[in-house]
Amino acid sequence: MRTDSPQHLDPGSEGDPSYLESLIRDDYGQCHPGETLDDLKRRASFSKEDRGLLRDWMAVAAARATMGRPR
């Protein structure tokens, strides 16, 4: 088995970034009025603080995915 080939994830799997983002997108918007998760993702590319905030939100999403409940 090759180890350098990209991993393909099933849609809706716990490791799929778009699925994980879907689990937190609404809550992020409620906690940060006037901002979107996409805004945070853009800022995270150049801001250490926003990278940490995004990492924390994605950890919440991963926990939700693992527990099998979106909220």
Instruction: Indicate the pLDDT class of residue 13, thresholds 50, 70 and 90.
Output: low
pLDDT tens, position by position, 38-61? 999 999 999 999 999 999 999 999
Confidence at residue 6, expressed as pLDDT on a 0 to 100 scale? 40
How far is it, in rounded angstroms, from Cα 11 to Cα 30? 25
DSSP 20-56: HHHHHHHHHHHHSTT--HHHHHHHHTT-HHHHHHHHH
Q: Which two tokens stand for residue 56?
A: 């924390």
Instruction: Indicate the pLDDT class of residue 4, thresholds 50, 70 and 90.
Output: very low
Confidence at residue 69, expressed as pLDDT on a 0 to 100 scale? 57
| Most confident range, picked from 16-20, 46-50, 67-71 | 46-50
How far is it, in rounded angstroms, from Cα 53 to Cα 59? 10
